[in-house]
Amino acid sequence: MRIILFLLLLAFAGAGSYAYLSPAAERAALVFDAAPADKGSIERSVSATGSVQALITVDVSSQLSGQLAEVRVDFNSTVKTGDLLAKIDPQTFASKVASAEANLAIAKSNVQVQEATIAKSRALAEQAERDLARQKSLAERGNSPQATLENSETTLATAKADVLVADANLANAKAVVTQRATEVFQAKLDLSRTEIKSPIDGVVIGRNIDPGGTVAASLQAPILFLIAQDLSEIQIETQVDEADIGAVEAGNAVTFTVDAYPDQTFTGKVSQVRIAGTAINNVVTYTVVVLAENPRQKLLPGMTATVRIVTGARMDVLRVPNDAIRFQPPENAATTTRDVRRPNRDDAIMAQLGESLKLTPEQSEQFKAALAASRTGEQNSGSGQRPNQGGDSANEARRARRRWARGQRGPGARGAQRQSRIARILEGILTPEQLKAYQDLRAERRETMRPGLVWIETPGGLEPRRIRIGLSDESYSEVIGGKLEAGEKVVTRTRTGGGQGRRS
């Protein structure tokens, strides 16, 4: 019985020892994978697809109906402005020209008749005036009756009226001449339109007619040819998702490939971002037009292009893997309480702004003194109000993770107040040109900078390093602030000894 009790006590002691030692053993079994923070390039891009198109494409149509007498070009034919492409049978239109010219000749003859009539009317009017003058002279001497005098007056009035009528008939005849001349012009214009000519220099990429076919232009002008302007320059219309369109702007560099040349990369640039969106199945996209050179004309209209739009690039900058920014220590990981984000903050601000704004030594001294005074006031206002930072390492890790999560949502009120104080200080120190540069720099940082947290493995456990993140691509993020040096290794994932790694 004593042996059994002894064995039971021994079993309970062993189980307690395992329960006590297992967390430490598990912590000891944790393995952290790390990657160094290094200098390199970062390139942010947006991917899309689109089709290659000619820069200018013209539809060649016909305003006339008729049968095609000949077609002089085919697909891929190179044409110049004014070259004859096709010809509609001109006989009908030539007869209309002849008819219109005959009507014009008749109208001109009528004008001559009316001019002769005017001459006759004026001659009769002059004769009537002489007769009236003679009758008045005779009447004054009593040698002519009053009735004869009145008849002479009536004859003169009638002759003058005939002159007015003749003048009106002549004006009408001249108007008819103008009308008939217009009809001749229209008939000749229609005759000239039977010759369908190229409006631009280019290449025929579409032909919708054949010799002997009939063109019917009664309702709308049919498209006979499609001509692309010189293909030494092409454009690509791509559809970019609304989530990415905010980063795309005119002038962005572009690289693209086509299936016809899978091993060759072509370059271009964004020429236009169209503001009208298109919604298909609740997905909103925007059209981005890309211009590219095509000197050897290898790119043909209609090819599908896979486009990569570079929306931001940084060269030779400090960067960390994105996995390091996403990493959070597991609950059972040992962490340190040291926070390295505060020391020498003033020196970092001075160094960055001094280089960016080209501060003079006097400006640097003024700014440093005002910044130190502001920092002293900030610390005094916050003294006695912070909670106790002591506690075990697990609590510190949880607090660090909470601070990291708050930072991911955006800068806090204290950060915004600090930036406002710096702006007020600089307003009294900088020149107008420097102040404009500072405002531009601040606007750029608001758009591209966000807070982040990485972890460094030390003998005492994982140590948090708060950083400021700038541009990011698929693999790396730019470090533009914080106490992180090139070469320091940041933790990217954790795994148990011999087990699969994981990103926390």
For residue 385, the model assigns a pLDDT of 43
Q: How many Cα atoms occupy the beta-carbon half-sphere of 335 within 13 Å?
A: 26
For residue 373, the model assigns a pLDDT of 78
For residue 10, the model assigns a pLDDT of 59
- What gap in Å lies between CA 495 and CA 504, rounded to an integer? 10
Q: At what angle do helices 91-141 and 146-192 cross, to 10 degrees?
A: 170
DSSP 8-state symbol, 387: P
Beta bridge partners of 257: 306
Segment 374-386, tens digit of pLDDT: 766 555 554 444 4
For residue 8, the model assigns a pLDDT of 59
State yes or no: pLDDT of 19 exceeds 60: no
For residues 217-230, give the mean pLDDT.
82
DSSP string, 406-443: HHHH---HHHHHHHHHHHHHHHTTS-HHHHHHHHHHHH
By the 10 Å C-beta count (0-12 exposed, 13-18 middle, 19+ buried), 266 is classed as buried
Strand blocks (E) in 259-345? 261-280, 283-293, 304-321
State yes or no: pLDDT of 102 exceeds 60: yes
In the predicted model, what is the mean pLDDT of the chain?
Answer: 80
DSSP string, 93-129: HHHHHHHHHHHHHHHHHHHHHHHHHHHHHHHHHHHHH
For residue 382, the model assigns a pLDDT of 47
For residues 9-19, give the mean pLDDT.
51
The least confident of 82-91, 140-149, 454-463 is: 140-149
Of 271 and 397, the structure prediction assigns the larger pLDDT to 271
pLDDT band of 267, cuts 50, 70, 90: very high
**Strands across the sheet containing 202-207:** 57-61, 223-229, 202-207, 78-79
pLDDT band of 439, cuts 50, 70, 90: confident
For residues 27-52, give the mean pLDDT.
86
Which percentage of the chain shows pLDDT scores above 90? Answer: 31
State yes or no: pLDDT of 365 exceeds 60: yes
Segment 298-348, tens digit of pLDDT: 999 899 999 999 988 889 999 999 999 998 888 766 666 554 444 455 666
